[in-house]
Amino acid sequence: MARAVAVVGVGQTRYGNRSEMTYPDLVREGVQAAFADAGLGPEDVDGVVFGTMPSMMEGVAMTHFYFADALRAVGKPLMKTETCGTTGMSLAITGYYWVASGMADVVLVVGSEKMHEGDSQATMSTVAEPFFFRPFTSGAPGIFSMLAQMWMDRHGIPEDKARDAAARVSVDHHRDALDNPYAHIKKAVTMEEVKGAPVIVYPSRLWDICPNSDGACAVIFACEEKVKKMSGKPAWVKGIGFCGDEYWFGDSDKVSWDGARETARQAYEMAGIRDPLKELDVAEIYNPFTYVELQHYECFGFCEAGTAPDRVLDGTFSRGGELPCDPSGGVLCSNPIGATALVRVAEAALQVTGRAGERQVEGARLALSHGLGGVAQFNGIMILGAEQ
């Protein structure tokens, strides 16, 4: 039987162009913030889990070696986990496993990226093999724009309606990010600006797409025994799920998206959630693109297939709605990829412990955090709660 595990501290750097410092110093900034938040030090940590997007994002491979000192991992077990955009969620789940299994009592989990140091989409194109896929990839925007087209077609959603809903998602999140001191993009946008912005990969336009961000996020997981000795409010891990899809992009159906649905099923079963829309208080969906956030509302059972545009336009997922999603501004406004899904976990922890500041969803007790990565290949979820 797995032990109870809680998040006892989170640390985030400010996201954006952080060229004023080296990459290891940026990682250290996130680690220091998590130690300060938890009231713990390196001596309390039994092991370290670290990850990024493909290491070549910044031109240095095996960065857990490069960052050993910044992670305070010297003399401890250090594990690297890497699943593209899902990396941060894989890190959190790895840290959870380590503590839940009894192999460690306190684990430091860190994700980072410094995307301004390289060419992010050139790096991501190397995720596609060069025999069949690479000549046709245009990085992540291409894949998620194709998903959007299939989703609209399958459910008979008029393009204008999907366009309006995606624009509303963008408007909401860009406004939300103004309340997040760590957010990268701090600019309110209007429906007209989003819909009239330049096409990056049709149908996705500039404000439908996440930025390239630098940043690091650190989260500390601890066992029940340690939590009880600490003074801070814990965020208990209530459920986790992870599911990988087949490699070949054309082999499986990314509209019904069984992998995304299975991920949620696992997490809901473990957390005892039957009606996510009613039971969850807030969700941090991994939303690098507006359209894919709409798809995830459906895959995670927040609404019926094909109805996400209606629910977005009636405000169900906005601040003050029935299930506010990404009150941090989400991936759409800050995307240091190796850290991004871990930021979702950190934000969920802040929400259920009532420490999310201006972006706090009032009375939040149960929060879903999500990671997505690969060629739309991996989904991971961690559900955090105020009660054990």
Partner 1 sequence: MITRDKKGNPILEAEARIPYELALGPTVHRFFEGFKQRKILGTRCHACGRVLVPARSFCPRCFVDMNEWVEVSQEGRVLSWAVTNYEYFGMPTKPPFIQSLILLGGTDCGFMHLIGGVDLSDVDRVGRIVKTGMTVRAVWRESRTGCIMDIQHFAPVD
Nearer to partner 1, 73 or 128 (CB): 128
Omega of the bond leading into 203 within 30 degrees of 0 (cis)? yes
Question: Is 251 near partner 1 (CB under 8 A)?
Answer: yes
Inter-residue contact 276 to 268 (CB < 8 Å) = yes
Tokens for 365, please give them.
């007790």
Site residues for partner 1, window 131-150 (CB under 8 A)?
131-139, 141-142, 145-150
Burial class (CB in 10 A: 0-12, 13-18, 19+), 332: buried
Nearer to partner 1, 103 or 199 (CB): 199
Q: Whole-number minimum distance, CB 289 to partner 1, in Å?
A: 11
Among 203, 232, 321, 354, binds partner 1 (CB under 8 A): 203
- Site membership for partner 1, residue 85 (CB under 8 A): no
H or E element that contains 320? none
Q: Which of 110, 201, 331, 376 binds partner 1 (CB under 8 A)?
A: 201
The yes or no reply on residue 121 touching partner 1 (CB under 8 A) is: yes
Q: List the x/- string, 349-388, binding to partner 1 by CB under 8 A.
A: ----------------------------------------
Q: Which single residue is written with the structure tokens 């709409």?
A: 294
- 98, 47 contact by CB (below 8 A): yes
Tell me the three state secondary structure of residue 382: strand
* Number of neighbours of residue 56 by Cβ within 10 angstroms: 13
Please, what is the minimum distance in Å from the beta carbon of residue 210 to partner 1? 14
The b/e string for 210-243 (b: 16+ C-beta within 10 A; e otherwise) is bbbbbbbbbbbbbbeebbeebebebbbbbbbbbb
Report the sign of the C-alpha dihedral through residues 88, 287, 337, 334, in that order. Answer: negative
Query: Residues 182, 249, 268, 317: which binds partner 1 (CB under 8 A)?
Result: 249
Tell me how far, at minimum, the Cβ of 350 lies from partner 1, in Å.
29
From 25-33, 65-73, 91-99, 195-203, span contacting partner 1 (CB under 8 A) = 195-203
Q: In Å, how far from its chain's centre is CA 272?
A: 22
Site of interaction with partner 1 (CB under 8 A): 17, 19-20, 56, 59, 116-117, 119-122, 125, 129-139, 141-142, 145-150, 152-153, 159, 198-204, 246-251
